[in-house]
Amino acid sequence: MTTHRIALIPGDGIGREVLPAARAVLDAVGARHGVRFGYDEFDWSCARYLDQGAMMPADGLDRVRGHDAILLGAVGEPGVPDHVSLWGLLIPLRRGFAQYVNLRPIRVFEGLDSPLRGAGTVDLVVVRENVEGEYSEIGGRLNRGFPTEMAVQEAVFTRAGVTRVLDYAFELAARRRGRLTSATKSNGIVHTLPFWDELVTEWAARYPDVGWDSEHIDALCAKMVLEPGRFDVIVGSNLFGDILSDLAAAVAGGIGIAPAANLNPEREFPSMFEPVHGSAPDIAGKGVANPIGAIWCAAMMLDHLGHPEAAAEVEGAIATLLAAGGPRTPDLGGTGTTVSFTRALLELVS
């Protein structure tokens, strides 16, 4: 029996409603695959920030460093600005634990309404560089209040930072359908993205079995809507990956089903799995949050921890339930609840 220690951070709002669903699924599918989970729960959240002045304790990273993975619900609270949860919790974890790959799988499931219906099968993964690129703190504001007022923001692309993400993306493409698309804009951005393009070309030569192409981000966004079925793995910088993964999640049937993984591929530090959605204060406490995003996160975590069959079973059960017209939450047009969907899913994976 393998045992994994998981740090659970339910967070705020519906984060606290969807994590128990993910946990129940992990326990059920784990039991059949000889995998046990031990959980430690942390109350790190905007609620904690309002109460104690910090999202997490000063030694927060040390408290979860020894865990095999982190499963996070959602953080966010009306009245607490986004930058508090971002810089007080998410970014310290992503950067502190070198979670430099942000992975977002997108599927259009049969039985779900999506603007992409008719576009055929969609099964793609966006690989986003997660710790450098456009989201840097380098820059500043000058001449505030004067006609000469300006803002300057530097983007940082390092050979080491880009190529470690390319390693991940090409390896992933080789394991999947062998197609990789790189997001760029080297016609308009003349230093960083030509460098990105050069590194992609250099890395592509190391993976002769992976077919690849490069698309400017504007054209790529249009193609993502018009012919999403042509994509397998898309790799992009921090900003482009962010935009593409939200776009893809929205067109694939809503934010409630989208999962994300912040990976430290070397497994030197714990990776973190969190649904794409936020704390959804408008529906929190009503029991109708869609748990699919969180449950799919649990599947990604199973895969990362070395249990790909168990992960595939969970993902397959989600697909089966949606295709069969089983219970679904109101965001997907149903009258089900978090609990009724989870119960139906547990029957399939237990």
CB 8 within 8 A of CB 272: no
Q: Which of 27, 123, 135, 197 is catalytic?
A: 135
**Integer Cα distance of 255 and 122 in angstroms:** 16
CB of 328 to ligand ATP, least distance (A): 10
Q: Which is nearer to ligand ATP, 268 or 282 (CB)?
A: 282
Range in contact with Mg ion (rule: CB under 5 A) among 35-43, 101-109, 277-285, 336-344: 277-285
Clarify whether 62 is annotated catalytic.
no
Q: Which is nearer to ligand ATP, 42 or 231 (CB)?
A: 42
Classify 169 in phi/psi space as left (phi over 0), alpha (psi -120 to 50) or beta.
alpha
Q: Which does 253 bind (CB under 5 to 8 A by kind): Mg ion, ligand ATP, none?
A: none
CB of 340 to Mg ion, least distance (A): 26
Residue nearest to Mg ion (CB): 278
CB of 279 to ligand ATP, least distance (A): 4
- Taking CB under 6 A as the criterion, the residue among 255, 319, 344, 346 binding ligand ATP is 255
- Taking CB under 6 A as the criterion, the residue among 93, 331, 348, 349 binding ligand ATP is 331
- Taking CB under 5 A as the criterion, the residue among 60, 253, 259, 278 binding Mg ion is 278
Residue linked to tokens 């996070």: 72
Tell me the β-bridge partners of 74: 11
Clarify whether 242 is annotated catalytic.
yes
CB 253 within 8 A of CB 113: yes
Clarify whether 286 is annotated catalytic.
no
Clarify whether 246 is annotated catalytic.
yes
Clarify whether 43 is annotated catalytic.
no
CB of 70 to ligand ATP, least distance (A): 18
Is residue 337 part of the contact set for ligand ATP (CB under 6 A)? no
Q: Which residues bind ligand ATP (CB under 6 A)?
A: 14, 74, 76, 82, 255-256, 277-280, 282-283, 289-290, 293, 329, 331
Q: Which residues bind Mg ion (CB under 5 A)?
A: 278
Catalytic residues: 135, 185, 218, 242, 246
